[in-house]
Structure formats: C-alpha cells, structure tokens
Amino acid sequence: MAALVGTDEFGRDVLSRAMAGGRIGVGIALPPCFARCRGALVGMLAGFMRGWTDRILMTINDGVLAFPGMLLALWFHAVFAGGERAIVLALSVAYLPSVVRVVRAVVLLDPGAGIRRSVAPSWATLTFSPCAPRGSQRSAGRSPCRD
C-alpha cells in the first residue's frame, strides 16, 4: 500500500510519524485545557455558593497560588521522576488557580446573579444554564445573555 502523504528519504511513512509525534503534543496540551475547565467550574461554584464554600475553596486556591510556578514544576519533576507526566501535572496545577480567581470575580461582579440564584432550583441548573459561561464570554467581549 502506498503512503498517503509520502515517504522520507529512508522510506518511512511521513503520516504515521507525524501522527506519532502529534500524540505526545496532544497528550501534553489537553490536560491544561481540562484544568482550565475544572478551574472555571470551581470558580463558578465558589462565586455562586459564597459563604463557607467560597472561603474554603479560595483558601485552597490561594495556597496553590502562593507557590511560584517554577518551584511547583520542579517539585512535580522530583516527585514523579520527570518525564511527560510531571510536565502535564505541573502545567495543570499552574493554570488552575488563576482561572478560578478570574471566573469567581466575574460571577461576584455579575449583578443578575442574585436574581438568577433566587429563581434557579439549584446551583447545578444555574451553573449549567445557557447564561452560565458569562465569565469567559464577557472577558472576550460578547455574552449570550443580554442584560
């Protein structure tokens, strides 16, 4: 069978080599994206619930934020014996606290959150409603829910 993209000077399939290299790149790039999603959920939970839930979540968040990113990366490198896993965990933990703080701040500044909170049956329906991603939408300059 002929190679779809072609071969290199040694006769190796270029497509299979690119896919093998892309697997590592995607494996390193996806966990920080998931960490940002988790950070957005934690930030929305802290902003909507307020009270002791907000206090506990933000204390943990501030504790992680207190460590410099390079020190955190070196710690993960030492604990997990280096490699791809340490890089992925260090990036995931480094991105999480800043996202939590930004999303929580936007939720706390949203003037309609109190009205929606009193109308919504639970925090889960409020969080996953069409108006929930206002933090990311507002920071980009657009919002699906017009006030």
Residue 143 has pLDDT above 50, yes or no: no
Beta bridge partners of 13: 7
85 φ/ψ angles, rounded to the nearest 5 degrees: -65, -40
Return the amino acid letter for 131.
Answer: C
Residue 97 has pLDDT above 60, yes or no: yes
- pTM of the full predicted structure? 0.62
DSSP reduced 3-state for 138: helix
Place of tokens 């390193």: 28
At 6-26, the pLDDT tens digits run 788 888 888 888 888 888 888
Average pLDDT over residues 91-108: 85
Report domain extents, the chain: 32-67+96-139
Residue 101 in contact with residue 64, Cβ under 8 Å? no
Q: What is the per-residue DSSP string for 15-62?
A: HHHHHHHHHHHHHHHHHHHHHHHHHHHHHHHHHHH-HHHHHHHHHHHH
Average pLDDT over residues 30-43: 86
Lowest mean pLDDT among 2-6, 67-71, 100-104: 2-6
Place of tokens 């270029």: 14
- Residue 106: pLDDT band with limits 50, 70, 90: confident
Residue 146 has pLDDT above 50, yes or no: no
How many angstroms separate the CA atoms of 81 and 108, rounded? 40
At 121-132, the pLDDT tens digits run 665 665 666 555
- State the chain's mean pLDDT as an integer: 76
